[in-house]
Structure 1
Amino acid sequence: MNSWSTKFPRAVSNEAKAAVRAHLGELKTAVLHQLNTSLPWFRELPANQRASLGEIAQQGLSTFADWFEHSEKKVKISVSGVLHSVFGNAPPELSRIVTLQQAVQLLRTVLQVVETQLPAIVAEPDKTAARYAVVFYSREIAFALAEVYARAAETRGSWDARLETLLLDSILAGDRADEIRSRAAATGWKATSGITVMVGHPAQLDEAQLVAQLREVASRSRLEILIGVLSDRLAIVLGSVRDIETDTRTIQRGFGDGPIVYGRMVDSLVDAPQSAQEALEGFSAAPAWPGAPRPISAAELLPERALNGDQIARSALTSQVYQRLARAGHSLLETVDVYTTTGGSLEATARQLFIHANTVRYRLKRVSELTGWDPTSPRDAYVLQVALMTGRLDTVLNQPEQ
């Protein structure tokens, strides 16, 4: 509703109008005194901010006096007009310094002073019209105030969304640490631990609805979140993660069909690009393992990532598996090779290596302890096989030319 018509029940006398105008200075003094007396937060503001708010309060009184003088006419009252007359001179930063609740308290104080003192200013025949004037003006001020803060909230929301998008883009692109820090500070990011990046397909929802749903889920789980829908991909940065498997499963409801991959957990947004790169590479390679769990850690997709050309994954397989086994002795590499190529048979491995089956069991246990991958598990055996291949190739490639 932008405007409406108001007509008071009876005309206000010229004497009443003149009396209100004559007492305007006293009303302004009374309002400032009441603000300092009844509002502790007002007293604690810096002098320049108290002065700005005092001017708003006094402007509100002046506007009321102008309006009261025309109360006998059927006047068209515009919310935008009230906004300009009362809030037009307010510094833009006041809506960030003073909360909506505080602004309501300020204007309520102004109107209480008017309501209390007006009956003593006007004569008896004008008291009823004066009371109506305060009621109707209070309504106008309420709408005006709501519009001021609604506009501020819309502007702040749009700006916050742009800042979050810039921060997410910086993380996904692996920008400089200083740039990520400054953008994180601008968005108000607070998490200093438990940060991971998730990538998958977005759920089939309107983007605004999807973002709102994810924020609600994250808030209930006490997680910080950055959200970005990038074409057919949904990228999420989670903060304050305590249990990465549990928390990523909680957030997965925002994803559609297909793989969901999350990167390593880091303790700073500055390190989040590492997690993002792993998640993106893992998501690209995930179709090679149709039966992969949802969600899945990028570390579980090292073979698929290596086969897809991810040099970081290939180096990880070589260093974390092949080189560790090589340092422990050739027998472990040989045992893994024979065990995986003979279909996971203890007896066949023992016969081919001319050792006892218990020795095979011991060596396989050592492999699991050293690498974290269990050769007796089909999936882990596959990881070990690929690691042996990448290790051998890297060894050949790194040999000096003769």
Structure 2
Amino acid sequence: MPTELAEAYLTLLADVSRTGRLLRRDELEGLRRLGEQCAEAGYGLREVVSHCLAAARRAWQTLPGTTGATSVGELRRMGDAVLAATDAALAALGEGHERSQRLAVRQEEAARREFIDDLLHGRSDLGLLAERAERFGLRLAGAYTVAVAVGDEPFADVHPMVHRVERELAGRFGERDVLLAGKDGRLVCIAPDSERAVLDAFADLTLRPGPGYRPVLRVATGRRHSGASGVLRSYDEALDALDYAQRLGLPACRLKAEDLLVFPVLMRDRAAMADLVRSVLGPLTEARGGARPLLDTIAVQAEAAYVNAEAARRLGLSVRTLGYRLERIKSLTGYDPADALQRFTLETAAMGARLLNWPEQPL
């Protein structure tokens, strides 16, 4: 390919040196196409330019002025024409080469997005998915863990945070079978279970990205699972953890699916959970001001490990007012927060209420 380019380029320069004309539009477009073909054939732009400059030097050596038959002025005119043609030709070749590179990048990005969609939605044959994964540096025969970060603005593959985290992870760990991508407005990191340090670094970089970047709100990590279906399962677990954290108002910014396994168990039978909430907490709606203040009191008491002074501080109440609320909960529900078994029932019902968005949503 460079040899063909050099021959065509020499022919062009020879005509320019004779006539002093500028390159025509069709000639420039032909050079752009040659630049594209060189890029598609795997030749770098530096190599293409080198061949063209070598051809320009050969053309210069064949100028009529080298025989002494041409005046200095004429020699200068022909030299200027050759140099102008060289400048225009190299610019056209560069445009074509870059055009091909941009197209290749867009095609690669489209293939990457399609692979991510298929992998995280389980829409492709697992065998074919494993073959495609190798192209993106994943060997799906092993065990993988997925971490998902969510912020107050959506992430896409072109988001600056994606490139920042990708650069940092590559700089620290190199190519270690890791895939980073934006998916449905979230930032997703897929890493082998053996590379837990990568997931920890991913969480650190997204929660504390540094000046100029907005930190994410939460990062959730699924459990380790094997194969392509395992990646999907770990991803779903991370999404569930984020969902539970939002619905329960959990303060933690780092979440692990294994720490939240109780919530899928609680919600596995939604009808039973709704019945528990109605039976245990339903009477709270009779309180002045509704059920919400007393429901919040149950939740904060649990978070404060039933230390009244700490619970009162978090609620912005006096200890005496907190005591009144606890008595009111006991009288309305019949469950005593001071009794260990009854306390557990109240806590479980309160969690269910938050998961079901009760009392705002009727059961």
TM-score tier by shorter-chain length is: 0.5 to 0.7
Mapped to 1, the partners of 2:148 and 2:3 lie a distance apart of 51
- Kept in 2: contact 1:180–1:270 (CA 8 A): no
2:40 to 71, 95, 99: 95
Per-residue displacement from partner, 1:276-323 (whole Å, max 9, x unpaired)? 222222222223553453332222221123334399xxxxxxxxxxxx
Aligned 8 A contact 1:263 1:277 in 2 = yes
Change (3 A) 1:58 1:157: same
Taking the aligned partners of 2:38 and 2:257, their CA distance within structure 1 comes to 45
1:251 Cα deviation from its structure 2 partner: 3.9
Answer whether contact 1:261 1:297 (CA < 8 A) is retained: yes
Question: What's 1:62 paired with?
Answer: 11
Cα offset for 1:102?
Answer: 1.7
Q: Which residue of 2 aligns with 1:3?
A: none
Please list, as runs of the form range in 1=range in 2, the aligned pairs for 1:294-333 lying within 5 A after superposition. Answer: 294-309=253-268
CA shift in 2, pair 1:270/1:163, >3 Å: farther
Partner amino acid, structure 2, of 1:247: A
- SS of 2:188's equivalent in the other structure is strand
Question: Equivalents in 2 of 1:68, 1:310: separation in Å?
Answer: 85
Picking from 188, 193, 209, the partner of 1:235 is 188
TM-score, normalized by length of structure 2? 0.59
Structure 1 residue 201, shift from structure 2 partner: 2.1
Aligned to 2:268, what secondary structure does the other structure show?
A: coil
1:247 Cα shift? 2.1
SS at match of 2:261: helix
Correspondence for 1:327: none
**Contact 2:179/2:190 (<8 A) preserved:** yes
Cα separation, partners in 2 of 1:205 and 1:55, compared to 1, 3 Å? same
SS at match of 2:147: strand
1:160 and 1:124, CA in 2 relative to 1: closer, same or farther beyond 3 A? same
Corresponding residue for residue 376 of structure 1: none
Query: Which residue, 53, 58, 82 being the options, matches 1:113?
Result: 58
Size of the aligned set, in residue pairs, is: 260
Q: CA deviation at 1:204?
A: 3.3
Name the aligned partner's letter for residue 246 of structure 2: P
Counterpart contact for 2:33–2:96, Cα < 8 Å: no
Q: What code does the residue aligned with 1:109 have? A: A
Partner of 2:114: 166
Alpha carbons 2:220, 2:255 under 8 Å: kept: yes
Tell me what 1:134 maps to. Answer: 82
Deviation (angstroms), 1:134? 2.6
Question: CA–CA distance in 2 between the matches of 1:146 and 1:95?
Answer: 13
Describe the shift of the 1:171–1:190 C-alpha distance in structure 2 as closer, same or farther (beyond 3 A): closer
For residues 232-258 of structure 1, what are the alpha-carbon distances to aligned partners after superposition, in whole Å with 9 as ceiling and x for unaligned? 534343468351552232342478554
Query: Is the alpha carbon distance of 1:149 and 1:91 closer, same or farther for their aligned partners in structure 2, counting shifts above 3 Å?
Result: closer
* 8 A contact 1:196–1:262 mirrored in 2: yes
- Residue 123 in 1 paired to residue 69 in 2? yes
- What is the RMSD of the two structures over their aligned residues, measured on CA atoms? 3.7
Deviation at 1:142, TM superposition (A): 2.1
The residue that corresponds to 2:148 in the other structure is: 199
The residue type paired with residue 257 of structure 2 is A
**How much has 1:57 moved relative to structure 2?**
1.3
Separation in structure 2 between the aligned mates of residue 159 and residue 83 of structure 1, nearest angstrom: 26
Question: Structure 1 residue aligned with 2:171, among 217, 220, 243?
Answer: 220
Which residue is 1:279 aligned to?
238
2:95 matched residue in structure 1: 147
> Following the alignment from structure 2 to structure 1, what is the Cα–Cα distance between the partners of residues 130 and 100?
26
Using the TM superposition, give the Cα deviation of residue 58 of structure 1 relative to its aligned residue in structure 2, in angstroms.
0.8
Preserved contact between residue 202 and residue 229 of structure 1 (Cα < 8 Å): no
The alpha-carbon distance between structure 1 residues 265 and 149, as it changes in their structure 2 partners (threshold 3 A), is farther
Asked whether the equivalents of residues 281 and 310 of structure 1 are also in contact (C-alpha less than 8 Å), the reply is no
Alignment correspondent of 1:4: none
CA contact (8 A) 1:83 1:144 kept: yes
Q: Do 2:180 and 2:190's aligned partners in 1 also have CA atoms closer than 8 Å?
A: yes
2:149 maps to amino acid? G
Aligned residue for 1:249?
203
Aligned residue in 1 for 2:159: 209
1:234–1:87 Cα change, 3 Å: closer
Question: TM-score of the superposition, structure 1-length normalised?
Answer: 0.54
1:39-98 deviation digits (Å, cap 9, x = unpaired) = xxxxxxxxxxxxx33222111112222333431x5x4x46x6344333546784753411
> 1:284/1:104 Cα in 2 relative to 1: closer, same or farther (>3 Å)?
same
Structure 2: unaligned runs, 5 residues or longer: 271-304, 307-343, 349-363
**Alignment correspondent of 1:157:** 105
Question: What is the alpha-carbon distance in structure 1 between the residues aligned to residue 70 and residue 6 of structure 2?
Answer: 27
Distance 2:60 2:84 in 1: 12
Q: Are the structure 2 counterparts of residues 68 and 242 from structure 1 closer, same or farther at C-alpha, using a change threshold of 3 Å?
A: farther
The answer to whether the aligner puts 1:183 opposite 2:132 as a matched pair is yes
- Please say if 1:260 is aligned against 2:219: yes
Gaps of 5+ in 1: 1-51, 312-342, 345-381, 387-402
Specify the SS of the correspondent of 2:5.
Answer: helix
Q: Deviations over 1:329-377 (max 9, x none)?
A: xxxxxxxxxxxxxx99xxxxxxxxxxxxxxxxxxxxxxxxxxxxxxxxx
Cα displacement (A) at 1:123: 3.0
